[in-house]
Amino acid sequence: MKRIFVTGSGGQVGTELVAHLRRLYGDANVMASDFKAQEGHSGPFALLDVRDRGAIASLLDAFKPDTVMHLAGILSARGEANPQQLWETNMGGLYNMLEVARERGCSVFFPSSIAAFGPNTPADNTPQDTIQRPTTIYGVSKVAGELLCDYYHLKYGVDARGLRFPGLISYEALPGGGTTDYAVHIYYEARARGRYTSYIAAGSYMDMMYMPDALDAVVRLMEADPAKLRHRSAFNISAMSFDPEGIAASIRKVLPDFELDYDVDPERQAIADSWPNSLDCSAAREEWGFAPRYDLDAMTRDMLARVPER
């Protein structure tokens, strides 16, 4: 990667990925874009609606990137409220980006998700290659996106690569409507009030990862030797698996008086119940050296130290 174009730069991942890429490749070589105006960028920024293929083409022609990080999209909980809008944005946007990238010879990064699995998927140590029958429109869009990226690679030679992100935890940007958002909110509430009411039930295990490890994984994958990649568009990655009680226990090692109670949201709980408990990440380790640094307690110590700064 030398010049990188990022969509969805105002989202939870995009906010930090743009800054990370600019540290690695230089401010002028990373162009951020989002459908909302943003301030404080150290490098180029453009407004972009990814449903507008002509606008994408114009921006890529002007900036001339070799790599596109296509992060723009609507998340799981928000998507269930308006599935038509999610499909138009997530799938229409990805199709537009792959078409424009195909015409201009760009590599493409596509973020898939544990939402691509479903209730019939093996829940524990979920294999890299397994049944995928999701029950949310977000999950359906992720499976379709994985397949579309594979198709563009096989049919047109587009260097499309991707990761199945677990829940991502960060102190830089608040999440934007995902099912795993509780694992971010709990740290803010622990510092602010010393207690948290979880909308996810006790015993609901989901894979998670601290954002610094996620950013490192994106760069490692996109810089990897393509000859070593047997999989491309959807590597399982994860660093930890816990339920609300597990994260509460970790917080109490720093804040002993922290209290956790529950007011379960049936809709988000149903989504959580359809996702895996833990992922088999061996393909990512073997093919491009995936190696997360943070476990739950290390992440908790860092989050609780940094949240007051926010």
* The three-state (H, E, C) secondary structure of 32-84, written as one string: EEECCCCCCCCCCEEECCCCCHHHHHHHHHHHCCCEEEECCCCCHHHHHHCHH
**What backbone torsions phi and psi does residue 83 show, to the nearest 5 degrees?**
-65, -30
Options 95, 138, 151, 196, the catalytic residue: 138
Which among 51, 3, 53 has a CA at the least distance from the CA of 27? 3
Q: Clarify whether 25 is annotated catalytic.
A: no
User: Do the beta carbons of residue 4 and residue 30 sit within 8 Å?
Assistant: yes
Q: What angle do CA 284, 297, 168 make, to 5 degrees?
A: 50
Closest C-alpha to 3, from 46, 43, 63, 55: 63
| Full strand arrangement of the beta sheet holding 235-236 | 45-47, 30-34, 4-7, 67-70, 107-113, 160-165, 235-236
Residues catalogued as catalytic: 138
